Structure 1
Amino acid sequence: MNRRKMFSSSSRTMWAIVFIYISVISELRVPCEARTTVTDAQGKPEASENTVKDSSAEYLRIYSDRMKSYMNDSVAPCDDFYEYACGNWQHVKQDRQSSHKRSNLLDVGYTLGDVVEVLLTRNSLAVDLNYTAELLIAQRFYNACLGADLYPMPAADPAYLALIRSIGGFPAVDGEAWNAANFSWFNMSAHLTNYGANGLIHEKILPQFPFVPYFKVPELGFDYIVHTDNIASNDTRGYKLNEKRMRGYLEAYGLSEEKVSEVIAGVFAFWQDALLVIDRFAEEKECEEHAETEEIPPFSEWSSYYEIAWNSTNFPAESLESFCDFYYVELDKVCAKHKPAVANYLAMLLLYRLDAKLKAAKYQKEHCLQTVQYSLPYIFDRLYRVEYFSEEISAEISGIIMELRKSFRLMLENSEWLDTETRREALQKESSIEPIIGSFKDDELTERLVRAVNNLTIVEQSFAQTNINLRRLTTKIRRFNGNHFSELSNATKPLELVWSMQVNAFYYNIDNSIYVMAGILHPPAFHQLWPNSLKYGTIGYLVGHELTHGFDTVGSMFDGSGSQRNWWSKKSNAVFNERAECYAEHYSNYLIPEINRKINGNQTKDENIADSGGLHQALSAYRSYMKQQQQDNETYLDKNELMPGLDLSPEQLFFLGFAQLWCNAYEEEHYWEELSNEHTIDKFRVIGAVTNNEDFAKVYNCPVGSPMNPHAERCRVW
């Protein structure tokens, strides 16, 4: 395995990233209040024990009604469990601004935006933490954002045009003043990465010391990722959405209709030619073949990228990966043919990055809250941990993790296909897993990230320039570890692991650890008042998903100490690969009719293994936990495991909770957006997991031959 391929593969699957979301701020606050009591509508404590019980019962009734509102009762669970669990979600979801898919998962971003609005007022808390100056800067940006004209975007603002001209120019606007001879598509793309825009350089950062950049094949387009077939004619949705976006920017500069049409046609012509190159490298096969035969010379421009994007950061040479030279040599030929179109595309792509992309003016506040939340995350993270994170909740999650690990160990001990030595290694690895709840604690690093807010320059008379400054700062923060690696310990964690205010969970191969971030510990993933059946079907499944990642096709390449080592016997490894391949074949049969494409089962294999393993282990852990509860308390009643108003058994509720994590509403363009993701599209995550779960068929009484129980044979690794 060559080094470039190793990094590319592990970086795609090193993270098992799960986004879980809630919908009302009151629910977010309940867990912290539940430490001691329940509050009334004015936030005053209610001392009566009966009131606490009544309040808890009322909450469960309300949340049960919400779960029921997501369901489509006209569909039998054995026919289509996703539609049964989630078929009505798209009709009851809140009205929100969104440039991407809407889902029960992603909507937590809006709720956390509401939390940020509260935290923006916590001046006394900022004083206590010595973050007064940083919070003031965040407040000033937020107020500037609220007061700016963002709908429609003022694309022709002098600050935006000056920036574009400084990094490569805008021939559509500058006309003959634009000099093609001085234009470098590669350098302009490098500049775009400084503002978080992936043009023709799609930059990611490897999540391990020294945190060097790595690269993916770029995705072309604006609101709709383009492929050869979805822009084949001007009446496709892909063509129309991208044309509309470009037209809006170009018309802001007062260009004639004839000029606007000419520029747009040029960009589409460039895309068509560039897609021919991109399609050849979709799976990197041709790139590897040419790299091995050394038929293509190294692409010579990479030093410019590191100079422009990383201030010539002196990364260790052995840590750097060069992206497929063959790809960039071929792309260079296309860009040379379409120089003005490439510059116009990159200029508009930068505008797209700076654009709030509001669908209506009423969404501006929502946008401003989310902007400060995600652009200045670490100041709010510190405030959030104090204001919202409960040690009581942390302790409960720790208990759930313990139950999942007991279940996982029992499964390893009883897996007949593992030989003795491989089983011993697997058990040793499991015993070495370190669970982290909330986030990884690195006070020194976090302090530096919080103080970085002071580098934001707010220009009172120009929100456009302030917006530019924020995007540049956001990228600097994202690259912080890489830019400062020489000052950091080689044990430094990726920034994602020290940010608790995110609705994520991770498995990290490098130190064999699982992370349950503080932001995930809210509905629909967790609530203290829920019955255990629902908790194990949601947060239990998610924990099991992360544990399984330690033993998927990438995780299995690392041992218990986080070292990359083959600890498998040939016999066990052969069986493992055969079982893993079952998932690739199974999911590759799922057709996405909206875009007439099938799921890439090989690309999504590890996430599907983790979904299946997580669901198996969570149910096993739940059954074990309940058995112990009933032994310890003979009066424990099954009704404690139900939700009022839902005519479901505890284990049926378990599976419903799992499925409703993935309720969603896609537009056509979102399927293309998700197609390159390592996670399967949400609907098929649900269907694929339950059809490969024999317990689901029993719990819902699905006969063999029904859609959710098509045959007796199933895919199973763990």
Structure 2
Amino acid sequence: MISENKIERICNNDKEPGALLSNDRHGIDRSNLDTSVDPRDNFFLYACGGWMKNHPLTSEYSRFGTFDLLREKAREQLKELVTMLSLDPESKIQGTDAQKVCDLYCMGMDVSRLNKEGASPVMPFIQKIQDFSKDEFIRVLAWLHNGITGSFFTTGVGADPIDSDKNIMHIGEVGLGLGDRDFYLERSETNDKILSAYEKYVKRMVELIGYDKDSQQRVWDNVISIETEFARYKMTREERRNPQLRYNLYSIDKIVADFDNIDWNTYFSEIGIENICEANIISVGYLKFLNKYLPTLSLQQIKDYLVFECVSDSSGVLSDEFHDANFEMFGKIMSGKEEPEPRWKRAMTIPNSMLGEAVGRLYVSKFFPKDNKDYMLRLVKNLQDSLGKHIRKLTWLSEDSKNKALDKLSTFKIKIGYPDKWKDYSDIDIDPQRSYLENVYLASKWYTQDNYKKLYKPVDKEEWHMTPQTVNAYYNPTTNEICFPAGILQPPYFDVSADDAINYGGIGVVIGHEMTHGFDDQGRQFDKNGNLKNWWSDKDIERFNEVSDRLVKQFDAVEVAPGVFANGRFTLGENIADQGGLCVALTAYLDYANGKFAPDIDGFTPLQRFYLAYANVWAGNIRPEEIIVRTKTDPHSLGENRVNVTLGNISQFLDAFNIRKGDKMFRAEKDRAIIW
């Protein structure tokens, strides 16, 4: 244990530069700290322990951090917007975006109607599944894929990885009820508990649509048998990260010949696509398995699986009985939550997703000042210049590859705040006379058809893949773009009233993170035009793998729960981006400072504030159950590891907090992994 006074002496290292001349800007919120922890032993707990104590997990959350706090703020803002929208005369005019948003939200809030209707809204779908004959299977499957649920395999239109200006059809694996294949294939006390709860869930879902106990048992036996077989042949988490494995372009004739137990011509015709000539098979091994497996299934097995899929995927827009069963399984058992979200949050999810840009227009007009966008544009330019400097100084990348990397960096498309062109929802019809489920289904069908209509058309590189109110950011390799929606441009990530060191340590690292994704284990395989192309020499790849393998081992060594270790290979891309973002953002900040320094703020030097701001981005509490689920399903490392493991590689951080050999946060130089 170390006293607060000693912490102050450590943090007032007079070898570090003082703050930029910005006396009107605030510094670190000291209430976020836990000064009883030595930053040299556990920087995450030192930087975030106060925040964690002040924000204990409440019953509706399996994890709650600064990221979630910001999302909750955005949800509250959306609630205000949507409830006020109901006073707008336009909300009473059928066909306006205001009417659609308001009516969808009101239907989600109408508990009495939902509970009175019970299972009746989903029963026409169930009846259609129960009544089809064997030769109608592919037509029913196509109907389900057209906005209801994805079963057996999935289809969707997106950019051709080797010709990213063109949209093609992609055929992919099916999802699993439990999310990850390991829950089905690995035996453990935790997995056995989850499977036992899943059995109750499956039986309860079909009980709610009238199945007796014998039928419930039969459905469970068929569902678990089918999903377990799917799990055996799905790609591993690590394989899914390899874009080369996921690209296998087949002509339609070859698809029909090689996977002949699926009537592809009828399938594509039924989903509304004529004259298809080719498709990318994302997982050839899985589709080969499925082609052999389908003929072995009885009609009853197929129907039971499809019935369960349909009712489970519909549970969120049906009565409380369906929602309660779903929460018991996925909220309590898998994530450790104690109670569900309040009704208004669940109701807000539907218009916020299905009419996302309509809601987004309202959001940015009230909550996103133009000054924020201007500041961000300057910040992004600084980060771009900084990453260029890092690329030029690399010792492991050849000169030819450096030049290509710099060329790719210079062509990044930058999207900030909100799109220039808003999505048109005029063809989505929301009618309160129909059930909540039917309205959601019809909107989902519209989205599915909207996607299919893009086939063979040029990729719209102005389209956004997140709504403006989303608290997140992304890099898209096929368009070589970075996107920062308005929702994430709020404290603690971004604050125009904060000291610049804090903004560079927060949103600056996020910007650098997304930029670095263009050069991580996946992004580096796409060129400046977004095409899947190897533009590195064999020696470059060998050196990259040598350094990145060290990063993999660092995370693999972390025990996140008794007997459960982090997966450094699965999280490699995000870990590279975290580390790259930190290094690039620091250089950008020091370049921006340009030697102009002032006294420290709140006893912390600029570099210390920079790293504390980064750590505060990942402050949060998490339940043990959620740790297991995220370790298996989330390509991002847990917050504590994103701080402690990543920072241990960065010499400027170690110097900023006087971390030396013998300290727990110290990592010997020979063991560090610095890539970008």
Distance 1:373 1:447, change over 3 A: closer
1:671 aligns with 2:650: no
Aligned residues: 620
Distance 1:496 1:131, change over 3 A: farther
Equivalent-residue separation in structure 2 for 1:483 and 1:312 (angstroms): 8
Q: C-alpha offsets along residues 591-623 of structure 1, whole Å, 9 cap, x if unaligned?
A: 3325x4443333322222111110111112222
Please list every run of 5 or more consecutive structure 2 residues that lacks an aligned counterpart in the other structure: 1-21, 328-338
How big is the shift at 1:590? 3.1
From 403, 409, 412, the equivalent of 1:424 is 403
Q: C-alpha offsets along residues 291-342 of structure 1, whole Å, 9 cap, x if unaligned?
A: 99x999325424454344x422555526676754323135426644944542
Partner of 2:652: 695
Equivalent-residue separation in structure 2 for 1:179 and 1:614 (angstroms): 54
Matches within 5 A, 1:10-89: 64=29, 68-69=31-32, 71-87=33-49
Equivalent-residue separation in structure 2 for 1:154 and 1:597 (angstroms): 45
How big is the shift at 1:141? 2.0
Partner of 2:438: 468
From 450, 460, 469, the equivalent of 1:480 is 450
Q: Name the Cα RMSD after superposition.
A: 4.1
What is the identity, as a one-letter code, of the residue corresponding to 1:686?
Answer: V
Equivalent-residue separation in structure 2 for 1:662 and 1:430 (angstroms): 27
Matches within 5 A, 1:102-181: 102-120=64-82, 121-122=84-85, 133-149=96-112, 156-166=118-128, 168-169=129-130, 181=134
Partner of 2:388: 409
Please state whether the residue corresponding to 1:435 is helix, strand or coil.
Answer: strand
Please state whether the residue corresponding to 1:550 is helix, strand or coil.
Answer: helix
What is the identity, as a one-letter code, of the residue corresponding to 1:134?
Answer: D
Partner of 2:573: 606
How big is the shift at 1:206? 3.1
Please state whether the residue corresponding to 2:495 is helix, strand or coil.
Answer: coil
Partner of 2:675: 717
Q: C-alpha offsets along residues 14-50 of structure 1, whole Å, 9 cap, x if unaligned?
A: xxxxxxxxxxxxxxxxxxxxxxxxxxxxxxxxxxxxx
- Contact 2:156–2:451 under 8 Å retained in 1: no
Distance 1:618 1:221, change over 3 A: same
Equivalent-residue separation in structure 2 for 1:84 and 1:116 (angstroms): 34
Equivalent-residue separation in structure 2 for 1:288 and 1:245 (angstroms): 35
What is the identity, as a one-letter code, of the residue corresponding to 1:708?
Answer: M
What is the identity, as a one-letter code, of the residue corresponding to 1:592?
Answer: V
How big is the shift at 1:159? 1.7
Matches within 5 A, 1:386-397: 386-397=365-376
Partner of 1:238: 194
From 637, 647, 657, the equivalent of 2:599 is 637
- Contact 2:103–2:430 under 8 Å retained in 1: no
Matches within 5 A, 1:522-601: 522-593=490-561, 596-601=563-568
Distance 1:566 1:339, change over 3 A: closer
Distance 1:256 1:440, change over 3 A: closer
Please state whether the residue corresponding to 2:415 is helix, strand or coil.
Answer: strand
How big is the shift at 1:544? 0.7
Please state whether the residue corresponding to 2:431 is helix, strand or coil.
Answer: coil
Equivalent-residue separation in structure 2 for 1:98 and 1:314 (angstroms): 49
From 446, 457, 465, the equivalent of 1:496 is 465
What is the identity, as a one-letter code, of the residue corresponding to 2:395?
Answer: E
Equivalent-residue separation in structure 1 for 2:102 and 2:90 (angstroms): 14
Q: More displaced, 692-701 or 549-558?
A: 549-558
1:505 aligns with 2:473: yes
Distance 1:493 1:299, change over 3 A: farther
Q: C-alpha offsets along residues 66-119 of structure 1, whole Å, 9 cap, x if unaligned?
A: xx35x5544433333334444566664487786875443245443322222222
How big is the shift at 1:247? 4.2
Partner of 2:205: 249
Partner of 2:426: 451
Matches within 5 A, 1:59-458: 64=29, 68-69=31-32, 71-87=33-49, 92-93=54-55, 101-120=63-82, 121-122=84-85, 133-149=96-112, 156-166=118-128, 168-169=129-130, 181=134, 184=137, 190-195=142-147, 197-202=149-154, 206=158, 210-212=166-168, 214-221=170-177, 227-228=183-184, 236-253=192-209, 255-256=211-212, 260-261=216-217, 263-278=219-234, 283=239, 297-301=258-262, 302-308=264-270, 310-312=271-273, 314-315=275-276, 317=278, 323-324=284-285, 325-332=287-294, 335-336=297-298, 338-339=301-302, 341-352=304-315, 354=317, 357=323, 363-441=342-420, 443=421, 446-448=422-424, 450-453=425-428, 455-458=429-432
Q: More displaced, 265-274 or 403-412?
A: 265-274
Equivalent-residue separation in structure 2 for 1:282 and 1:299 (angstroms): 29
- Contact 1:615–1:689 under 8 Å retained in 2: no
- Contact 1:155–1:252 under 8 Å retained in 2: no
What is the identity, as a one-letter code, of the residue corresponding to 1:243?
Answer: E
- Contact 2:417–2:486 under 8 Å retained in 1: yes
TM-score (normalizing by structure 1)? 0.74
How big is the shift at 1:397? 1.1
Equivalent-residue separation in structure 2 for 1:376 and 1:222 (angstroms): 28
Please state whether the residue corresponding to 2:104 is helix, strand or coil.
Answer: helix
Please state whether the residue corresponding to 2:170 is helix, strand or coil.
Answer: strand
How big is the shift at 1:64? 2.1
How big is the shift at 1:704? 2.5
Distance 1:187 1:692, change over 3 A: farther
Q: C-alpha offsets along residues 358-397 of structure 1, whole Å, 9 cap, x if unaligned?
A: 6668711121122221121021122223222222111111
Q: More displaced, 571-580 or 607-616?
A: 571-580
Please state whether the residue corresponding to 1:696 is helix, strand or coil.
Answer: helix
Distance 1:484 1:215, change over 3 A: closer
Q: Which has the higher contact order (CA 8 A, sep 6+)?
A: 2
What is the identity, as a one-letter code, of the residue corresponding to 1:611?
Answer: D
How big is the shift at 1:276? 3.4
- Contact 2:561–2:624 under 8 Å retained in 1: no
Equivalent-residue separation in structure 1 for 2:574 and 2:191 (angstroms): 35
Distance 1:669 1:299, change over 3 A: farther
Distance 1:131 1:412, change over 3 A: farther
Equivalent-residue separation in structure 2 for 1:365 and 1:188 (angstroms): 34
Identity %: 19
Partner of 1:12: none
- Contact 1:202–1:215 under 8 Å retained in 2: yes
Equivalent-residue separation in structure 1 for 2:209 and 2:535 (angstroms): 62
- Contact 1:425–1:567 under 8 Å retained in 2: yes
Q: More displaced, 274-283 or 422-431?
A: 274-283
Distance 1:106 1:117, change over 3 A: same
Partner of 2:7: none
Please list every run of 5 or more consecutive structure 1 residues that lacks an aligned counterpart in the other structure: 1-52, 170-177, 631-635
How big is the shift at 1:242? 1.8
Equivalent-residue separation in structure 2 for 1:103 and 1:478 (angstroms): 33
Distance 1:390 1:593, change over 3 A: same
How big is the shift at 1:243? 3.3
TM-score (normalizing by structure 2)? 0.79
Equivalent-residue separation in structure 2 for 1:392 and 1:367 (angstroms): 32
Distance 1:513 1:72, change over 3 A: same
